[in-house]
A and B are shown apart, each in its own frame.
Chain A
Amino acid sequence: MAYEFATIYWRDMLRFVRFRIALVASLIQPALWMALYGAAMSSNFSRLGSGMVVPVGAVTVSYLTFMGAGVIALTTLFTSLFGGITLLFDKNWGLMRELLASPMPRNHIIVGIGLSGVTKSFIQVMVIMGFGLVIGVRFFQGYTLLQTVGAILGVLLFVGIFSLGFLFLSSAISMSMETPEGLQAVITLLTLPLFFASNALYPIDAFPGPVRILSQFNPMTHLVNGVRYFAVGNDFYAIGTHYVYTTNDLLISLLALMAFAAVMFLVAWRVFKKAVVT
């Protein structure tokens, strides 16, 4: 029986609840995004967009609601990209040799870290959605209770797969890096384009050509699509753009994220198989 990944999960979650400061900080950051950037941009956009003609039948949503999905994506990206950092610390100052010299198959380490990272992301996303509702994000408008539960599960599905992909990537990077400084640099470098070349904060239609193409391959864009579909709806109007998501669009985004996660798992697996820590 191979449940050793559950042990890695258990250990990582133990550390998570022990470092409450990290948990709190990771929740304050998205709250600040929404409270400061979101509120400021929202009032600006409503001023600019006051003269625009809303297409017939489309529901207008506020910028705050629009970017709420982006903040969920950003937070998940951050948490997941840093989720593998434990492995680097283990490698340099602790447990990694004990893990690698054990009979446990190495892919259990990857899976265990992946699942604990997803759990952390779920907790964060739930808190962000709750906080969002308090400050005026209009998610799940007009949904029945059952629909709301379904929509939340839908959001979590997208968040989960996206998060796994970046956790696998993070594990692979952490395992190949020698120092936390190097890891920090690589992750910061990755975060910026992933975040800005996506539809998290604004529509991608207005992007210059190459960036638009890039953004269509960006997992962030697919995550945001999924979150908006479930939390905001499949037909809405925000910051001058009419959004219509078909079921096909949704499936494509889901498949794109699954493919991304699968490839990242293979990358991480390869790194772990070859890893020598002595």
Chain B
Amino acid sequence: MSANIIEVKNLEYKYGDFKAVDGVSFFVREGEIFSFLGPNGAGKSTVINILTTLLPVQKGTAFVAGYDLAREPEQVRRSIGIVFQDETLDRDLTVWESLELHGRIYSMPKDERRQRIDEIIKLVELEEKRDVRTRNLSGGMKRRLEIGRGLMTRPKVLFLDEPTIGLDTQTRRRMWDYIKMVNESGTTIFLTTHYMDEADLVSNWIDIVDHGKIIASGNPTDLKDALGRDMIYLQTSDDEATKNMLQGFKAVMDVKATTQGLVVTINTDGTHCLPLIMNRLKEKGIEIISVNLKKPTLDDVFVHHTGRDIRNAGAEKLHRIQPRGGK
């Protein structure tokens, strides 16, 4: 068996005439945290649903944990754990019963099952909620229970579809601690998330998908570095002239005009480069309205490749480009 725990080649999926997945190929190495990112409607969910056997393989091949999804879906099911994006708990069962149900439908022998339930309840710190019905748990507790449930059968791969959506910051941070802990004990993690900062923090590898195709692939550092070392957000009295002037700079890789000013990507240290630019502008008599310097984030990588912000809101983009205290 190869060291790749997931191998997908030329995967296609059509809903009627609509091609949701258009020839996607990628792989996930054993033991890593792999993030699968993309805007809504990019084909992300379809790929996850295929990999977790909820949708059939229409075209292409996909192997999970060494098993062919098309021919051995049951073996795949036994090898994976899934935490679905939406809650999939019976609200009228208790925490213990939810895990018992899971162990039983995965045919775990009774002794092993009972022992594992105790371990899992401890792992996700729900000891005091053991006999509480899941409808009475907080959002964070439910998610922890679902993650624990996904781990019960000691899966080789754990699929996490937006595991932290709708949770508060503190709970989210704890959730990542769990996920990292689980990963350190040997489980490969396949992750989707809307929170770029979180993906940046935890992932070993990131694939970005859009319009049914993989459009960028790499570890978070490389992906960000490819955008340049620093980014300068600049608003001036004459953006057009500024742009022309900046394009003469050797350090400047790219200047993009937006409605909120210019975004300048440079390949040197911005703390030294920025004063030079500002001096030159002053010499030319161009007034600077606002300026901001920052490192490219995964958000920028995402916008760069997809042309869209991962969240549909435009407000965040505006906020970033027009720094606080500006104009």
Q: List A residues at the B interface (Cβ < 8 Å).
A: 1, 4, 6-7, 10-11, 14-15, 18-19, 90, 94-104, 276-278
19 contacts across the A-B interface (CB closer than 8 A): A4-B107, A10-B104, A11-B93, A94-B87, A94-B88, A94-B90, A94-B91, A95-B89, A95-B90, A97-B54, A97-B84, A98-B82, A98-B84, A98-B105, A102-B106, A103-B106, A276-B55, A278-B49, A278-B55
Asked if B107 and A103 sit within 8 Å, CB to CB, the answer is: yes
B92 beta carbon closer than 8 Å to chain A: yes
With contact pairs A1-B107, A4-B105 given, residues A101 and B89 touching in the complex (Cβ less than 8 Å): no
Looking at the assembled complex, report how far the CB atom of B91 sits from the nearest CB atom of chain A, in whole angstroms.
7
Q: Given that A101-B77, A103-B78, A103-B106 are known contacts, is A15 also in contact with B92, CB under 8 Å in the complex?
A: yes
Candidate in B55, B102, B105 with the most chain A CB atoms within 10 angstroms: B105
B54 touches A278 (CB 8 A): yes
Shortest Cβ distance from residue A165 to the other chain B in the assembled complex, whole angstroms: 25
Q: Is B30 part of the contact surface with A, judged by Cβ < 8 Å?
A: no
Interface string of B101-125 (1 = CB under 8 A from A): 1101111000000000000000000
Q: Does B22 contact A (CB under 8 A)?
A: no
B54 touches A99 (CB 8 A): no
Q: Chain B residues near A277: list those with CB within 8 A.
A: 54
Does B52 make an interface contact (CB < 8 A)?
A: yes
Interface positions of B from 48 to 63, Cβ below 8 Å from A: 49, 52-55
Main secondary structure of the interface of A (DSSP, over half): helix
Does B162 belong to the interface (CB within 8 Å)? no
Docked complex Cα distance between A269 and B38 (Å) = 36
Complex CA distance for A15 and B102, rounded to whole angstroms: 16
**In the assembled complex, which residues on chain A have CB atoms less than 8 Å from the CB atom of B89?**
94-95
Cβ of B254 < 8 Å from any Cβ of A?
Answer: no
- List the A side residues contacting B107 at CB < 8 Å: 1, 4, 103-104
The distance from the CB of B306 to the nearest CB of chain A, in whole angstroms, is 23
A272 to chain B, nearest CB (A): 14
1/0 per residue, CB under 8 A from A, across B208-245: the answer is 00000000000000000000000000000000000000
Check B74 for interface membership: any CB of A closer than 8 A. yes
The answer on a CB contact under 8 Å between A7 and B77 is no
A97: B residues at CB distance < 8 A: 54, 84, 88
B residues in contact with A99, CB < 8 Å: 105
Q: Once the chains are docked, how many angstroms separate the CA of A1 from the CA of B55?
A: 26
Additional A-B contacts beyond A1-B107, A11-B93 (15; CB < 8 A): A4-B104, A7-B101, A7-B104, A7-B105, A10-B104, A15-B90, A94-B87, A94-B88, A94-B89, A95-B89, A95-B90, A96-B88, A98-B82, A103-B74, A278-B45
**Distance between A15 CB and nearest chain B CB, rounded to angstroms:** 5
Specify which chain B residues have a CB less than 8 angstroms from the CB of A278 in the assembled complex: 45, 49, 54-55
A1, A18, A104: the one contacting B105 at CB < 8 Å is A104
Query: Which residue of B has the minimal Cβ distance to A15?
Result: B92
CB proximity of B292 to chain A, nearest CB, Å: 42
Q: Which of chain A's residues have a CB closer than 8 A to the CB of B52?
A: 101
How distant is A22 from chain B, measured CB to nearest CB, in Å?
12
Q: Are the C-beta atoms of B77 and A103 separated by less than 8 Å?
A: yes
Kindly list chain B residues whose C-beta atoms are within 8 Å of the C-beta of A90. 90
A10: which B residues are within 8 A, CB to CB? 101, 104
Q: Chain B contacts of A4 at CB under 8 A?
A: 104-105, 107
Is there contact, CB below 8 Å, between A18 and B55? no
Given contacts A14-B93, A278-B54, contact A102 B87 (CB under 8 A): no
Smallest CB–CB gap between B93 and chain A, Å? 7
Assembled-state Cα–Cα distance A128/B33 (Å): 59
CB-CB under 8 A from B309, the residues of chain A are none
What's the least CB distance linking A59 to chain B, in Å?
Answer: 48
Residues of B within 8 A of A11 (CB): 90, 93, 97, 101
Give Cα distance in the complex from A101 to B88, angstroms: 11
* Shortest distance between the CB of A14 and any CB in chain B (Å): 7
In Å, the complex CA distance between A101 and B74 comes to: 9
Closest 5 CB pairs of A and B: A7-B104, A103-B77, A102-B105, A104-B105, A98-B88
Tell me whether A101 and B55 are in contact (CB under 8 A): no
Contacts of B281-318 to chain A: CB distance below 8 A: none
Whole-angstrom CA separation of A98 from B134 in the bound complex = 15
Residues of B within 8 A of A96 (CB): 88
Q: Which residue of B lies closest to A2 (CB)?
A: B107
A98 to B85, CA, bound (A): 12
Which A residues touch B88, using CB under 8 A? 94-98
Report B104 CB to chain A, min CB distance, Å: 4
* Bound Cα distance A184, B92 (Å): 22
Residue of chain B at shortest CB distance from A1: B107
CA–CA, A1 to B82, complex, Å? 24
The CA of A4 and the CA of B107, in the complex, are separated in Å by 7
Residue of B nearest to A6 (CB): B104
Assembled-state Cα–Cα distance A161/B11 (Å): 46
Nearest to A109 among chain B residues (CB) is: B105
Q: Chain B 148-165 against A: per-residue CB contact (8 Å), 1 yes, 0 no?
A: 000000000000000000
Among A6, A96, A103: residue with most chain B CB under 10 A: A103
Q: How near does chain B come to A170, taking the closest CB pair, in angstroms?
A: 19
CB neighbours of B45 from chain A (8 A): 278
A104 to B49, CA, bound (A): 17
CB distance from A111 to the nearest CB of B (A): 13
CA distance A15 to B77 in the complex (A): 27
Interface residues of B in 169-227 (CB under 8 A from A): none
